[in-house]
Amino acid sequence: MDLERALASLRRGEFVLVYDGDGREAETDLTIASEFVTPAGIRTLRKEAGGLICMTVSGEVQARIGLPFMTDVLRRAGPAYPVLEAVSAEDFKYDRHSAFSIAVNHRDTFTGVTDMDRAKTIARLAGIAKEAVKRENGWAAHAFAEEFRSPGHVPLLNAAEQLFEERRGHTELTTALMIMAGLAPTATICEMMSDDGRALSKEDAKAYARERNLVFLEGQDIVRAWRLWSV
């Protein structure tokens, strides 16, 4: 079964491809478990996928760190900077709200954008995410503030607290895969782009997966598997 193959691949630190759905973005994200991200992995994402390299964060980890949604930050800053309130309207054609939180760099990076810097930021935050659920309240927020600064070059995506109840984006789909695989509850994802300036088509994404012996998953199959797994 493709889902079991995908989970096994993720546990080995390999990439899988996740397509959200025909009625949504209709995009495929190249996906890897954040805890296994290396500079070589970042290079693959930027050269083979080409979209925005982001890191997802599960609802439980968000709560323990205290990560906001970026739209909430902008709205609260609105009284001082009215333009921020104006641009924070979530008028997407494909979803009700954005998953974007803040963007960070690890404090030991230089510019934060190189393959090495982004890999360090992601791998260290994955370590905190893995430990957060085991530690006492307050530990994760302290560890996060000690190790990271914002703004930075790794955008964080907050998964919906109840996966798939209010949102079924790549953020939720890939985070669910990490949880089902028993890994740190964070995925590193990047949209796959085509040379014609558009998102890579589903058929071309499937061909890419076949050529490299990677698993291609449909969002609806992940949702079904999650509901069975979480019962």
Catalytic choice (14, 105, 190, 208): 105
219 contacts 21 by C-beta, under 8 angstroms: yes
Q: E-strand spans in 77-229?
A: 100-106, 148-158, 187-191, 215-218
Q: Which of 20, 29, 115, 117 is catalytic?
A: 29
The tally of CA atoms less than 13 A away on the side-chain side of residue 8 is: 7
**Which structure tokens are listed for 161?**
């607290």
Annotation says 153 is catalytic: yes
CB 70 within 8 A of CB 102: yes
Q: Tell the residue number behind the tokens 């968000």, with chain if given.
A: 62
What DSSP designation does 185 have? S
Identify whether 190 is a catalytic site residue. no
SS3 at position 94 = coil
Q: For residue 68, how many other CB atoms are within 10 A of its CB?
A: 15
Active site residue 94: yes
29 is catalytic: yes
DSSP state string for 23-63: TTT--EEEEEEGGG--HHHHHHIIIIIBS--EEEE-HHHHH
Marked catalytic residue, from 20, 25, 117, 191: 191
**Residue 208 bears catalytic tag:** no
Indicate the DSSP class of residue 214.
-
Per annotation, catalytic residue among 2, 153, 218, 221:
153
Single out the catalytic residue among 35, 54, 172, 208: 54
CA distance 215 to 229: 19
- Catalytic pick among 4, 81, 90, 94: 94
Instruction: Give catalytic status of residue 158 as yes or no.
Output: no
Please give the positions annotated as active site: 29, 54, 94, 105, 153, 191
